[in-house]
């Protein structure tokens, strides 16, 4: 720390010397020498610190895959540390269990109609009221075929493991089966459970 301050002071001193050439050269040499000393000491301290870290005499030192290896390979795991939370009235949680419970209570409050405000009541009413909209226009076979043509055979399969190539072959063999299935999905407003659970 002291070397760094001295090196910075000499740097500023050299930079402020403008008109006196001899003095400027002298201060330049002082600054360069100070910088060399500082850089050499910095390298020595880094090396010394790294050697200390690598030859740590703790319980892991006999293990070749200890903390030094993990640090050098970038494989250190950051441990999750839950801090305390303010529960109101200047009360704080004291352990992990109460902290987690406080988080759950805050972000996922119990859904109770007794404690609802006007906005919540309005949202609940709108969600339970039947929709008063006209039905969507049903899919045509040409629309389903147009979508099928946009399938990319190079794309990876989804969770259902059905590739676009399989779907195109099934559509080619059973061209009239797809459209009624999609029409029914649209009419009911949902997909079959088997499609969701795959």
**Which pLDDT belongs to residue 198?**
47
Tell me the β-bridge partners of 91: 88
Residue ranges per structural domain of the chain: 2-56, 86-128, 141-197
Whole-structure pTM value = 0.32
3-state DSSP helix/strand/coil % of the chain, to nearest 5: 60, 5, 40
Count of beta carbons in the 10 Å neighbourhood of residue 120: 13
Spatial distance between the Cα atoms of 185 and 53, rounded to a whole number of angstroms = 63
Count of beta carbons in the 10 Å neighbourhood of residue 31: 20
Spatial distance between the Cα atoms of 112 and 59, rounded to a whole number of angstroms = 54
For the chain, 198 residues long, the average pLDDT of each consecutive 10-residue run is: 76 79 81 86 87 64 65 69 76 83 80 81 80 76 86 81 82 83 80 65
**Which pLDDT belongs to residue 196?**
62
92 HSE (CA, 13 A, CB side): 6
């Amino acid at each position: 720390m002291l070397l760094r301050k001295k090196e910075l002071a000499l740097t500023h001193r050299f930079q402020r010397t403008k008109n006196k050439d001899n003095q400027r050269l002298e201060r330049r040499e002082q600054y360069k020498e100070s910088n060399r000393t500082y850089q050499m000491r910095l390298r020595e301290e880094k090396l010394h610190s790294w050697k200390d870290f690598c030859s740590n005499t703790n319980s892991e030192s006999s293990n070749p895959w200890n903390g030094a290896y993990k640090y050098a390979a970038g494989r250190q795991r950051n441990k999750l540390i839950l801090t305390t939370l303010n529960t109101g009235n200047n009360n704080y949680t004291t352990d992990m269990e109460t902290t987690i419970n406080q988080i759950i209570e805050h972000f996922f409050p119990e859904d109770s109609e007794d404690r609802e405000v006007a906005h919540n009541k309005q949202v609940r009413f709108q969600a339970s009221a039947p929709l008063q909209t006209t039905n969507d226009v049903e899919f045509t076979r040409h629309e389903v075929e147009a979508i099928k043509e946009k399938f990319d055979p190079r794309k990876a399969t989804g969770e259902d493991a059905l590739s676009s190539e399989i779907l195109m072959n099934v559509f080619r063999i059973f061209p009239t089966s797809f459209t009624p299935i999609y029409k029914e999905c649209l009419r009911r407003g949902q997909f079959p459970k088997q499609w969701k659970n795959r």
